Amino acid sequence: MVDSIELDPKIWPDTADRNSRGEITIGGLSVTSLVEEYGSPLFIFDEAHIRERARQYLSAYNTADVPTDIYYAGKAFLSTTVAKWLVEEGLRIDVCTGGELEVALRAGVKPESILFHGNNKSVPELEKAVEVGVGRIVVDSLVEISRLSQIAAVKGVTQQVLVRVTLGVEAHTHEAISTAHEDQKFGLSIASGAALDAIELVLSQPSLSLLGLHSHIGSQIFDASGFEIAAHRIVELADTVRKKFDFTVTELNVGGGMGIAYIPEDDPIQVGHMAKAIHEIISTECARVHFPLPKLAVEPGRAIVGGAAITVYEIGTVKPVLVTDELVRHYISVDGGMSDNIRTALYDAQYTVALASRQTAALAVTSRVVGKHCESGDIVVRDTLLPADLAPGDLLAVAGTGAYCRPMSSNYNFLPRPAVVSVKDGKSQVLLRRETMDDLLALDPGIK
Ligand SMILES: *Cc1c(COP(=O)(O)O)cnc(C)c1O
């Protein structure tokens, strides 16, 4: 059951609290004052939370025994400010399009600390990456290996690459975000021999330098078992490559996917435990086949920013709907919806939501938080308990919206995208400004 008053620390941003008026505060600022200043809906990021997660990942993974690079998966949420924070903390950045690459570069991220992956990078994207000196390009198909090799040759550079492999691991997570089983678009399968073919092709290209292997088994993963199997198989492959081609890879990237708690029932493994489990498997497997311990890399996205933000919405209407003779469901309509958070519609994602602008002693009743789009699937929080006295003008806060919400947003129904702000020690700043009607109309040459 979702408690609408208490803020569960494993779900809400680190600095989230309630003040004496019952308003939710983050970084010492009340959501009410932030909405007054920046409008609603509003994404609010807790800078301290993001920095703390970055430090936790570094200290857990990058140990003397197993040196590990931490790449922040920029697709989870990217702005120049966030990229700068993470680089300051010692993280690298992973991008999967020319657009994400551009943001990272404009943030001043050193190209050699950027990793570029993706299953269909365009020629201009690859050219740009090679030109600016991106440290690692993860190749994802034979066609791309030839393409990249030619681009690097023309530019007279040797490009460092990793080969993305599919390990046949089923991470226990939602189908749409599970990426390492065989029947899918990412990577080159070990089982079918495609991975070895790709590695052979890379090794035959003078303009490419094979650094290592890359895998990513899924997202919102709560335990270490999937990573353990992945680590086992990837070391096995590295050993096969050494025997077959007399070539020793020096880097193994096991991707991202570390989960976070969205609801009280979610119980993700602690970062330290996950790191230890992955380190142990890599070390043991390498020792078993006498493989020199490679550098390890991981790519957390959600785990760094997911829990760091909330979305604040203003309630516009409250409608009690008679569902059965016994059940009345309160439909709470807010001023955003599937355009700023598609995850509920896309993955049946669950969220924790709370009244954010005042106290109440009202009973909690069965409620559904819905958006303002012309779509009955426009649901933000499907099943929750919220105070029975919610009214137009009240603010609701949805927790855990730092990852894959703003980046997956749309302008459906010509709704401008919300502003994104960050808070720290009583101060706020804009990460992304709110879109205006002019922004939306600017693309239509017929607009007068
Ligand atoms: C999406 C993705 C990530 C990040 O996933 P999270 O679940 O946000 O940690 C990391 N690596 C690759 C290759 C990805 O595609």
Domain ranges of the chain: 17-46+307-441, 117-300
Q: What is the pLDDT of residue 173?
A: 60
166 lines ligand 1 (CB under 6 A): no
Tokens for 429? 């700043």
Query: Quick check: CB of 219 below 6 Å from ligand 1?
Result: yes
3-state SS, the chain, equals CCCCCCCCCCCCCCCCEECCCCCEEECCEEHHHHHHHHCCCEEEEEHHHHHHHHHHHHHHHCCCCCCEEEEEEHHHCCCHHHHHHHHHHCCEEEECCHHHHHHHHHCCCCHHHEEECCCCCCHHHHHHHHHHCCCEEEECCHHHHHHHHHHHHHHCCCEEEEEEEECCCCCCCCHHHCCCCCCCCCCEECCCCHHHHHHHHHHCCCCEEEEEEECCCCCCECCCHHHHHHHHHHHHHHHHHHHHHCCCCCEEECCCCECCCCCCCCCCCCHHHHHHHHHHHHHHHHHHCCCCCCEEEECCCHHHHHHHEEEEEEEEEEEEEECCCCCEEEEEEECCCCCCCCHHHHHCCCCCEEECCCCCCCCEEEEEEECCCCCCCCEEEEEEEEECCCCCCCEEEEECCCCCCHHHCCCHHHCCCCEEEEEECCEEEEEECCCCHHHHHCCCCCCC
Atom 7 (ligand 1): residue with closest C-alpha?
Answer: 257
What is the CATH code for 117-300?
3.20.20.10
Distances (CA, A) of 346 to 210, 334, 437: 36, 19, 27
The answer, yes or no, to whether any atom of ligand 1 lies below 6 A from the CB of 304, is no
Choice from 216, 221, 254, 258 to test ligand 1 binding pocket (greatest atom count within 8 A of CB): 216
CA angle 256, 347, 166 (to 5 degrees): 40
pLDDT at residue number 2 = 39
> Residue for token digits 């070895």?
196
**How do strand 24-26 and strand 17-18 relate by DSSP bridges?**
antiparallel
pLDDT at 3: 43
- Distance of CA 107 from the midpoint of ligand 1 (Å): 20
Distance (Å) from CA 301 to ligand 1 centroid: 6
Instruction: Tell whether ligand 1 has an atom less than 6 A from the beta carbon of residue 302.
Output: yes
- What is the Å distance from ligand 1's center to 300 Cα? 6
CA of 73 to the centre of ligand 1 (A): 6
| pTM of the model as a whole | 0.96
Calculate helix-pair angle for 47-61, 271-288, nearest 10 degrees: 30
Annotation marks residue 374 as catalytic: yes
Phi-psi region of 221 (alpha: psi -120 to 50; beta: other; left: phi over 0): beta
Question: Can you give the pLDDT at residue 178?
Answer: 58
| Closest atom of ligand 1 relative to the 306 alpha carbon | 8
Kindly report the length of the chain. 448
Q: Residue 53: which of 306, 262, 428 has the closest Cα? A: 306
What is the pLDDT at residue 277? 94
The one-digit pLDDT tens for each residue of the chain (448 residues) are 334 468 999 999 999 999 999 999 999 999 999 999 999 999 999 999 999 999 999 999 999 999 999 999 999 999 999 999 999 999 999 999 999 999 999 999 999 999 999 999 999 999 999 999 999 999 999 999 999 999 999 999 999 999 999 988 766 665 555 566 778 899 999 989 999 999 999 999 999 999 999 999 999 999 999 888 899 899 999 999 999 999 999 999 999 999 999 999 999 999 999 999 999 999 999 999 999 999 999 999 999 999 999 999 999 999 999 999 999 999 999 999 999 999 999 999 999 999 999 999 999 999 999 999 999 999 999 999 999 999 999 999 999 999 999 999 999 999 999 999 999 999 999 999 999 999 999 999 999 8
Report whether residue 298 contacts ligand 1, using a CB cutoff of 6 Å. Answer: no
Which residues, 6 or more positions from 372, have their beta carbon under 8 angstroms from its beta carbon? 316, 333, 334, 335, 336, 337, 378, 413, 415
Strand-strand pairing, 309-322 and 42-46: antiparallel
Task: For ligand 1, say whether the CB of 75 is within 6 Å of any of its atoms.
Answer: yes
Was domain 17-46+307-441 assigned CATH 2.40.37.10? yes
Closest of 394, 364, 369 to residue 379, by C-alpha: 369
User: Which amino acid is it at 239?
Assistant: D
pLDDT at 100: 98
